[in-house]
């Protein structure tokens, strides 16, 4: 399986809602929420124009996924990391919390119509690919600016490997910190969580599967 994780992780602040997407809300409500996060110090890195940029990237993700013949159930996906990356999310300021909560879900729950991937995070992936200032030249790779299906990401990882810790020491990999997973149908997640609450499995339990996703 080329060392490809068979689960995905969503990091979130303890006490906040899981499985949410800021782009699901009207602009005024979303901007107010982002402003509160920034002022509280929970997302100090948020910048003016973030929501507009996020919506533009998300529209690109959606159109590319559909262009590949997929049928997303959600207009705005739920974001996860392939495998996990505690070192980045817990130690490098993405969250103000030293140890944010995390939700881990087995990939075997999803058909190929339900998930897509970018290597790395979709925002820097598209930004580097489309940069015209020259600032992205030192980092640009063929994988940037692409949305991969479940089948395609296996080939990508075979060629490039998992991100690992290269971004810490090699400038060329500075922005390739994790593989982002876009979940376009959250119904299997809620079914999984309901089953866990009913004692049929642990939320952090990893179900081993020989494939990324299940057959459509």
The residue extents of the domains of the chain are 14-197
pTM metric for this prediction: 0.85
Contacts of 15 (CB under 8 A, 6+ apart): none
pLDDT at 31: 76
pLDDT at 15: 66
pLDDT along the chain (216 residues), means of 10: 85 77 80 72 67 91 98 96 87 63 94 97 95 95 98 96 92 95 97 85 41 36
pLDDT at 94: 61
* 33-59: pLDDT as tens digits: 777 766 666 565 666 778 888 899 999
Q: Which whole-number Å values give the CA distances from 46 to 39, 101, 126, in the listed order?
A: 10, 20, 18
pLDDT at 151: 96
* 91-109: pLDDT as tens digits: 655 665 567 889 999 999 9
Q: Tell me the H-state helices in 22-84.
A: 27-40, 50-67
């Amino acid at each position: 399986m080329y060392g490809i994780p068979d689960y995905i992780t969503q990091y979130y602040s303890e006490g906040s809602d899981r499985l949410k997407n800021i782009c699901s809300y009207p602009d005024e409500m979303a901007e107010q929420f982002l402003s509160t996060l920034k002022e509280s110090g929970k997302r100090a890195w948020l910048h003016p124009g973030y929501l507009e940029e996020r919506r533009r990237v998300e529209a690109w993700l959606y159109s590319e996924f559909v262009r590949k013949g997929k049928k997303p159930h959600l207009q705005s996906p739920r974001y996860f990391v392939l495998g996990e990356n505690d070192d980045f999310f817990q130690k490098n300021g993405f969250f103000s919390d030293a140890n944010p909560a995390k939700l881990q879900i087995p990939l075997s729950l999803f058909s190929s119509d339900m998930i897509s991937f970018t290597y790395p995070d979709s925002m820097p992936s598209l930004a580097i690919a489309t940069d015209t200032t020259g600032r992205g030249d030192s980092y640009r790779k063929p994988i940037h600016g692409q949305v991969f299906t479940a089948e395609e990401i296996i080939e990508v990882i075979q060629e490039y490997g998992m991100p690992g810790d290269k971004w810490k020491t090699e400038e060329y990999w500075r922005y390739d910190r994790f593989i982002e997973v876009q979940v376009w149908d959250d119904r299997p997640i809620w079914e999984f969580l309901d089953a866990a609450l009913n004692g049929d499995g642990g939320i952090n339990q990893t179900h081993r599967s020989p494939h990324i996703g299940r057959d459509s």
